[in-house]
Structure formats: C-alpha cells, structure tokens
Structure 1
Amino acid sequence: MSPRHKKPAPGPTTGNSPATALLANDPILRTVSRAVFALVLLFAFLLLWRGHNAPGGGFIAGLMTVCALILHRIATGTSALRVDPIRLVPWGLALAFVTGLVPYLLGRPFLKSAFGYITTPLTGEFEWASALLFDFGVYLAVVGGSLAIAYALIDVDPQERVEGDQ
C-alpha cells in the first residue's frame, strides 16, 4: 500500500469513531464534498466581505465556514486546519476588542467605524470600512469556538467505557 493511501493514525485531527471511518471511504461523498467545500467557503467569504454593509458578517460567515470544515472532516477523516481551532478564539477576541478600542483611544465612541473609498483600475471604486476588522475578529472567534465544540463531539465514541460504568 502506498504512503498516500495509508489510513491516518488516530489523533486530534482524525476521526476515531467507526461511523467517521465508514464515511471517509465513500468515494461519492469525497468527490462531492470538494466542490461543496469550495462553494461554501466562497459564500462565507462573500458574507464576511459584505457584512458591514449588508446582511451577513463575521458570525454567519464563521458558521458557514464551520459547516464547510465539518463536511471536510466527515468526508476525508482529517481536519482541513493545521492548527487547533481553539487557538483562533483569543486571536479573534483580541482583534475585535482592539478594533473597538482604537476609536475610543482617539476620542471617538467605542466601536466607531471609519470608512472611505479606494479606486483601483481592476475593481473600480469600492468602500473600505474598519468594521471589516471587527467582523474578522468575530469570524475567528466563531470558527475557533464552534469547531472546537464540533470536533469534541465528533470524537465521542459511544462504545467507550470509562471508570465507574457498569
């Protein structure tokens, strides 16, 4: 068996349950999940980008990203992230807090958003806003927290016995 087709060792980025192992070997799910993963992530980034001017934002974009990452985990048995998702939470909270704190330190209301317009030959005129940084902080916190919870639930093996079970 080639190294490419070896089953990954159980660990924090692989599914340990028998159900996850069965789904990870389904060729239809693996094939369809690649396209769906890309489309859901693209939609999530659109929601994040437009969130400060239209419905959407960091929270719903984070939930959409979590759905795509869970689909990837179910289809392949491995995580698409290279880091532990819980590490994203403090970075997201810090970014959201600092984004709100900077205007306050400059004598403006907390979370006051600055905005302006940039014109480029490729995209024409588009608006930038500091609210996007706040939304990105929320996005990181939601992705990290939700994925940590989801991965903990995915790794539960109902057949596992612990001390004190009869």
Structure 2
Amino acid sequence: MPKRSRPTHPSRPAPPRPGDLLLHDPILRTISRAAFALVMLFALLLLWRGHNAPGGGFIAGLMTVCALILHRIANNQSALRLNPAKLVPWGLALSLTTGLVPYLLGLPFLKSDYGYVTTALTGEFEWATALFFDLGVYLVVVGAGLSLAYALIDVQPNERVEGDG
C-alpha cells in the first residue's frame, strides 16, 4: 500500500511538525553551544581518568551521545560528518586488539601495562594500556547510541505504513 499523506492547499503552508518549533529557537541554539562544549570536556575527562577512577569508555560514550543529540536537536544537523554506525567495528577492533596483544605475548587476556611520563605542561602522570580498551568501548557506545538515537529522531509520527488501519 503506498504511503498516504494529507493533501495541502497550494496557498496554505503545510502544518508544522512537532519538532519544527525548536529549530528556530535562538535560546536553545545559543545555550546548546556552551552545553555541548562542557559535556564533551567532561566526557573526555571521564575517558582519560576511567582506568584509575570512576568513569571510562562506557560513561564517556554516553555523555558524548547526549552532547551530540543536543547538537542535532538544536541545529537540525549532525556534528559528525560520518555515519555513526561505522564507529562500532573500529571500536570493537581496538578493544579486541588491546586484549589480544598481551595474550599473544604470553600474558593474561586484557592484561594492562602502565608507566609514568613527566612533561613540563602536565607534570607527572600515569599512562595505561587500559585507555586503548576504554577508547574502543567509547567508540562502540557512541556509534551504537547515535545510530539508535538518530533512527528515533528521524521517525515521522504522521507517516502511515503498511498494516496501519
């Protein structure tokens, strides 16, 4: 059955969709810029500190998804220039590689190594290979979360599909 739509008179504009009113809201667009930057900074902090403190790739990925959804709602366009589903296999490959390398070297699967680096800018800080695993999880969560969210955002509530009465 073909998709049916309401006929509109040529001289009358089409009725607005529920999300159309938000597209031209200057307050939302202005506030979303600052909120996007703050949430992304917090997500990067969670990702960076995740192997030693609460946080990590999963929660940082969720925070990034929230920031990118806010950007999409406020600006009616994605901040990413690629299909987010393409991030999932890269994240899986990175996480699997992080676990496989120690295993191939005779260590337990996902064994993490760490060390310390001193720079003039940051002083001494610890690095760990667990960050690469967290980065893989981050990519999987961002890719899957945005794919699901964008699929739900693109749903038109007035569409009729086969099987509707």
**TM-score calculated relative to the size of structure 1:** 0.88
State percent identity of aligned pairs: 75
Counterparts of 1:29-68 in structure 2 under 5 Å?
29-68=28-67
Q: Deviations over 1:13-56 (max 9, x none)?
A: xxxx9233221210000000000000000000000000000000
Max Rg structure: 2
Distance 1:115 1:158 in 2: 51
Equivalent residue for 1:90? 89
Aligned residues between the structures: 150
* 1:112 aligned counterpart, secondary structure: coil
2:20 maps to 1:21: yes
Counterparts of 1:88-127 in structure 2 under 5 Å?
88-127=87-126
Q: Which runs of 5+ in 2 are unaligned?
A: 1-15
Q: How many Å apart are 1:156 and its aligned residue?
A: 0.7
Indicate conservation of the 8 Å contact 1:63/1:142, yes or no.
yes
Q: How many Å apart are 1:163 and its aligned residue?
A: 2.0
* 2:29 aligned counterpart, secondary structure: helix
* 1:64 aligned counterpart, secondary structure: helix
Equivalent residue for 2:70? 71
Paired amino acid for 1:19 = P
Q: How many Å apart are 1:158 and its aligned residue?
A: 1.2
Indicate conservation of the 8 Å contact 1:21/1:77, yes or no.
no
Q: Which runs of 5+ in 1 are unaligned?
A: 1-16
Give the superposed CA RMSD: 1.0
Distance 2:17 2:101 in 1: 49
* 2:149 aligned counterpart, secondary structure: helix
* 1:19 aligned counterpart, secondary structure: coil
Equivalent residue for 1:134? 133
**TM-score calculated relative to the size of structure 2:** 0.89
Q: How many Å apart are 1:162 and its aligned residue?
A: 1.1
Q: Which runs of 4+ in 1 moved over 3 A?
A: none
